[in-house]
Amino acid sequence: MNRLTEITVVGEDRTGLIARITTLLFERNVNIEDLDQAVRDGLFRMTMHVDATEMAVSEGELRAALAELGEELDVDVQVRFPADRETQGIAVLVTKESHCLEALFEAWANDELGADISVVIGNHDDLRPLAEHYGVPFHDVGDEKGTTDEEELLALLSEYDADLIVLARYMRILGPNVVFRYEDRIINVHPSLLPAFPGAEAYRQALEEGVRIAGVTAHYVTTDLDQGPIITQRAFNVPDDADIEELKRRGQPLEAEALLEAVRLHLDTSVAVHRGRTELRGEGDYQLGMDPAVDGANPDRPLDGIVGAPIDSD
């Protein structure tokens, strides 16, 4: 597990924010290992990973100092020490489709998830019975049209102290106010092989374009729709006579599988984001895409620039 402390700052963009916060850390002997910042629509977000093992104050004192400075600067400051993440909690966001939520619950019930599902949050009430079956709190934050109250959503994510947010076929776009607070901690599954067919009705787009191979993608969420770093993908063949329902029948089990694998990789800190791409941590020949058996079915020659004897046709 990553032993660095994570500090996230979100608020209105203004001059001097970074200097004030980094100075506070320097004065308390907190070493900044990594700093990432972004601004979208006037909203500022900074995420720092710091080494606080030799800081000159207690954890409580650092939290209090950052909270006081955040109040002065009118920004929201979140501090997550390594000990805060020993037992990780997941908030699952849903709409009406159950297959991804069912896969997460089954893995959790079988002790195969690696974290607790702390809360299920929907923009409709349809999946409340499924959450209640597993004894998990369910909150509906949508109006009659399914439009999400993001202030209520943020309050719930804070209340349940979510380490990871999983969009289990959550059919709404999250605004920067949510995404910036949980950078690289929101995982979505999309029913296409991104970057192909982003946005709504991905299976329909694939069918209309006549693709022969379709698929699904689990990725980190950014403020750019369906353009976040890809974690896992799965593919399936599209029969000549396939309709939308057939694509869903083939794709939905793979959606659940790809999402579950992405969640496990994240929780195990086996995947990291670097320059907009995901990278595996550690050594080995693990493959984020198709099953390794697929490689054995692919031809390995001819290759450009390799001159050899003709293939024996006998």
Active site residues: 226
Give residue 300's Cα distance to chain centre: 35
Residue 26 burial (CB count, 10 A):
11
Rounded distance between C-alpha atoms, residue 254 and residue 261, angstroms? 10
Q: Tokens 């999946």 correspond to what residue?
A: 127
Q: Which amino acid is at 179?
A: V
Radius of gyration of the chain (CA): 22
> Prior bond to 195 cis, omega within 30?
yes
What tokens does 221 get? Answer: 């969420």
Contact present, 164 and 206 (Cβ < 8 Å): no
